Structure 1
């Protein structure tokens, strides 16, 4: 499973969803552009360009903008237009607090034969391939897919749906730092160690590694964010 497939799985692990409206389908395409790194924090969104690219009317696009602004992915500035949101320091701290609350218990209680464990392994192998290809944005997507697979271990579609929103905000944080190799490179082997512990039947040890990982990642990103803002 590729990283993008892992992200889609996290967002679609819901039961009996109604069909998407056109606005919802277009909103999903814009989310994918954020996830892939094509749209970065602070990017201005041109109505005309997006209408042409997505083949939708201005009314539909404005409904999309309302949906994504409500989610916090976009922001509107009077007389300037619509922009991709820029995360704040408090947002980063809260994202990592929520991640520890969700991911660590899910991993601590996991069974090594759970499908989520296989998705974790697929994500780290994807990250390794991206590293060899020097595709650092791909490494970032694989990292997000890895952690979405950890949430999958909880067997809660609601948690997976909620985590998909957290992952979008996390991608905004990644995009703000603008140095994906520096950001993602150090964490590939740590993900390998975490999934290795789970596959060996040591879920508690894996959860301990994950908690330490998330604390290190939070400090790392806060330090990098402070330097970027400065």
Structure 2
């Protein structure tokens, strides 16, 4: 089914194409966030075009967009692969996370609408943990941190952080043990939520900063171990 078939107003071919391209690009981003596409994985042009019911030319345009964003990598004569973030990128991602998230939490107020999103994310993580669904726990963790950024009431920050989360999931994808990676943060997220709902924003921001430092060290340690093995090449 054509995703634009139900559009209520006539659109130019260029506008229709752009809208379709944006939708497909977002679908691929979400597959990365959910862990369905792993870093270094080769993407089949034929299979994806069939799955999304789009032409290969359209898919190639989407691939070009996501390559510019650093989410995909084109290897001549080999195809298109999901990108593997560099160590420098990981360090930068965590630097930006600390600047955005800790400030958003420190300057929040208890009745902010994002509180519901934070609670829902914690609840989702608990349910996934009970089922042993560690990729699901990871997705819930992404939702929790997105909710923290929403406390800043900035659409620009929301858009920026959504992109950062896709890159972050790529980094997490290199850790072959999602339980080891995500299990500790379920209780940490609960504690941060408790600080937030109690109005203890300074304490919550400090706990979040420690949390992010801990997470960064784990990811960088995995990268350091895998580099000598050639595990970061696509």
Which has the higher Rg, Structure 1 or Structure 2? 2
TM-score by length of 1: 0.90
The alignment yields a C-alpha RMSD, in angstroms, of 1.3
Instruction: Tell me if structure 2 keeps the 8 A contact 1:177–1:228.
Output: no
In the alignment, does 2:200 pair up with 1:202? yes
Structure 1 consecutive aligned stretches of length 4 or more whose deviation exceeds 4 Å: none
Partner of residue 5, structure 1: none
In the alignment, does 2:149 pair up with 1:151? yes
Partner of residue 11, structure 1: none
- SS of 1:83's partner is strand
Partner of residue 126, structure 1: 124
Supply the distance in 2 between the matched residues of 1:41 and 1:219 (Cα, whole angstroms): 19
Supply the distance in 2 between the matched residues of 1:191 and 1:221 (Cα, whole angstroms): 18
Which deviates the most, 164-173 or 29-38?
A: 29-38
Supply the distance in 1 between the matched residues of 2:56 and 2:196 (Cα, whole angstroms): 49
Partner of residue 31, structure 2: 33
Partner of residue 103, structure 2: 105
Instruction: Tell me if structure 2 keeps the 8 A contact 1:151–1:159.
Output: yes
- In structure 1, list runs of 5 or more residues that go unmatched: 1-17
Shift of 1:53: 1.2
Shift of 1:118: 2.0
Partner of residue 15, structure 1: none
In the alignment, does 2:48 pair up with 1:23? no
- SS of 2:173's partner is helix
- In structure 2, list runs of 5 or more residues that go unmatched: 1-14, 229-234
Shift of 1:229: 3.0
Supply the distance in 2 between the matched residues of 1:142 and 1:226 (Cα, whole angstroms): 27
Shift of 1:224: 2.1
TM-score by length of 2: 0.88
**Which structure has more RCO (C-alpha within 8 Å, separation ≥ 6)?**
1
Aligned pairs (5 A) from 1:178-217: 178-217=176-215
Partner of residue 67, structure 1: 65
Partner of residue 115, structure 1: 113
Supply the distance in 1 between the matched residues of 2:173 and 2:106 (Cα, whole angstroms): 30
Partner of residue 10, structure 1: none
Aligned pairs (5 A) from 1:129-144: 129-144=127-142
Equivalent pairs counted in the alignment come to 213
